[in-house]
Amino acid sequence: MTYLEFLLLFVILPTSVLIICGLLWSPQEPKQPNLRSRHWTAVLILVGIAFVWTTPWDNYLIAVGVWHSPSDRILGTIGYVPLEEYAFFLLMPIFIGAILYLILQKARVHATLWRQPQKRVRWIVSITALVCFSGGVVLLVKHPNSYLGLTVVWFLPALFIQCIFDPLGILRNASIIVPATLLPTVYLWAADSFAIASGIWTFDSTSLSGFMIGNLPIEEAFFFFITSLLVAQGVTLYHSLFIAEKS
């Protein structure tokens, strides 16, 4: 199976089905006004951010040999990254957004609390982020090509920005964010496991810790978790900005 065939079968097809289901499913009493237009605006914004944020990171990973996709499985590259990988950057937020849209048909987003001081919880977020980021730096000092270290150092700042913006708002909307994170995470773990088993991409063992979930490196599992969380949390935070406090 080529990388393009993988995208068609495991990403584009299920995303299309989810979007169609979301368009056809219109509750008699929608939980949020203007949900559809606001939701897909947020998703498209995150598509752009994800593409810009992930491109240099992934180019570096391939350049130093963390992962590789055989030339006979891809159409070509821009820089070091396969064309299909760029498409994956764009499709992942749409896939996660489609799952979140179905969840929002029945769930209600709580209004943002970002204007409230939230001093204590923001301090907790800041200290936790600093400790985790420092851990990533230590990993890179000891192992410069550590996949886990590179992922933590690159993506944790984006997660920190979201969490410091409205930590209490995130907690209030956890019943939405948690399933919207875990459902795509588990699916993408399974899809990625298939891709690895099929030889669509491979990893340099020296960049990995050795901990596996089946044939899935724990670093790869963490990558899909943190990116799913970033999308689910980001879109939910965007919705919360438009919700009146009384809701």
The H or E element that residue 203 is part of is strand 202-203
91 versus 245: the higher-pLDDT residue is: 91
Please report whether residue 64 resides in a domain: no
Q: pLDDT for 61-120, tens place per residue?
A: 999 999 999 999 999 999 999 999 999 999 999 999 999 999 998 888 999 999 999 999
- Which percentage of the chain shows pLDDT scores above 90? 90
Please report whether residue 73 resides in a domain: no
Please report whether residue 34 resides in a domain: no
> What does the alpha-carbon distance between residue 168 and residue 188 come to, in Å, rounded to a whole number?
28
210 pLDDT more than 90: yes
Amino acid at 164: I
Q: pLDDT for 51-64, tens place per residue?
A: 999 999 999 999 99
* Of 105, 87, 112, nearest in space to 171 by CA: 112
Q: How much is the pLDDT for 23?
A: 85
190 pLDDT more than 70: yes
247 pLDDT more than 50: no
What crossing angle do the helices spanning 147-165 and 218-240 adopt, rounded to 10°?
20
Please report whether residue 221 resides in a domain: yes
* Of 53, 28, 21, 241, nearest in space to 158 by CA: 53
Q: pLDDT for 146-175, tens place per residue?
A: 999 999 999 999 999 999 999 999 999 999
User: What does pTM read for this prediction?
Assistant: 0.95
Q: Domain count of the chain?
A: 1
Please report whether residue 118 resides in a domain: yes
Please report whether residue 123 resides in a domain: yes
Q: What value does the mean pLDDT take over residues 127-147?
A: 97
Domain that holds residue 150: 1-11+83-247
Please report whether residue 197 resides in a domain: yes
Please report whether residue 244 resides in a domain: yes
